[in-house]
Amino acid sequence: MLRSKKIIYFFFLVVPLYADESLSLFDAIVRGEVALANYMIKKRADVNVTNEDGMTPLHFVWDFSLAKTLIINGAKINARNNQGSSPLHWAVSRNLVNIARLLIEYGADMNMADVNGQTPLHFAARNGNNVLILLLIKNGADVNATDKLGSTPLLTALSFGHQKSSRFLTMAGASEISNAEALAPSSFASLTRNPEVVQILETKRLEPLIRAIFIENFAEAEKLIRSGADVNISDINGNTALHWAFTKKNRYLSKLLLDKGADISSFNHNGQTPLDVLKALKEPSFEKYIHTLISNKTKLVKMEIVETKEEYGE
Could you give the CA distance from residue 212 to residue 264 in angstroms, rounded to a whole number?
A: 20
Q: What is the pLDDT of residue 232?
A: 94
Q: What is the pLDDT of residue 262?
A: 92
Q: What is the pLDDT of residue 200?
A: 57
Tell me the mean pLDDT in the region 263-267: 92
Percent of the residues in the chain that have a pLDDT greater than 90, as a whole number: 56
Tell me the mean pLDDT in the region 232-253: 91
Which range has the worst mean pLDDT, 16-25, 206-215, 267-276?
16-25
CB 28 within 8 Å of CB 37: yes
Q: What is the pLDDT of residue 208?
A: 86
Q: What is the pLDDT of residue 193?
A: 52
Quick: pLDDT tens for 126-180: 999 999 999 999 999 999 999 988 889 998 998 888 988 988 898 888 875 545 4
CB 281 within 8 Å of CB 249: yes
Model confidence at 183: pLDDT above 60: no
Q: Which residues pair with 240 in a beta bridge?
A: 234
Could you give the CA distance from residue 47 to residue 73 in angstroms, rounded to a whole number?
A: 7
DSSP letter at 298? H
Q: Which among 289, 277, 281 has a CA at the least distance from the CA of 252? A: 289
Q: Which among 255, 172, 164, 174 has a CA at the least distance from the CA of 210? A: 172
Calculate the dihedral angle through the C-alpha atoms of 35, 41, 46, 49, rounding to the nearest 10 degrees. 30
Residue type, 199: Q
Domains of the chain: 217-311 (1.25.40.20)
What are the distances in angstroms from CA 182 to CA 64, 156, 170, 189?
37, 10, 18, 12
Split at pLDDT 50, 70, 90, the class of 305 is very low
Model confidence at 80: pLDDT above 80: yes
Model confidence at 95: pLDDT above 70: yes
Rg of the chain in Å (alpha carbons): 28
Split at pLDDT 50, 70, 90, the class of 112 is very high
Split at pLDDT 50, 70, 90, the class of 222 is very high
Q: What is the pLDDT of residue 172?
A: 84
Please name the residues in contact with 130: beta carbons below 8 A apart, sequence gap of 6 or more.
Answer: 164, 165, 168
CB 215 within 8 Å of CB 137: yes
Percent of the residues in the chain that have a pLDDT greater than 70, as a whole number: 77
Tell me the mean pLDDT in the region 239-256: 94
Q: What is the pLDDT of residue 31?
A: 86
Q: What is the pLDDT of residue 194?
A: 57
Helix (H) or strand (E) holding 247: helix 241-247
CB 65 within 8 Å of CB 56: no
Q: What is the largest CA-CA distance in the chain?
A: 119
Could you give the CA distance from residue 85 to residue 14 in angstroms, rounded to a whole number?
A: 41
| SS3 at position 234 | strand
188 or 23, greater pLDDT: 23
CB 154 within 8 Å of CB 169: yes
* 13-19 contacts at long range (C-beta below 8 A, 24 or more positions apart): none
270 or 308, greater pLDDT: 270
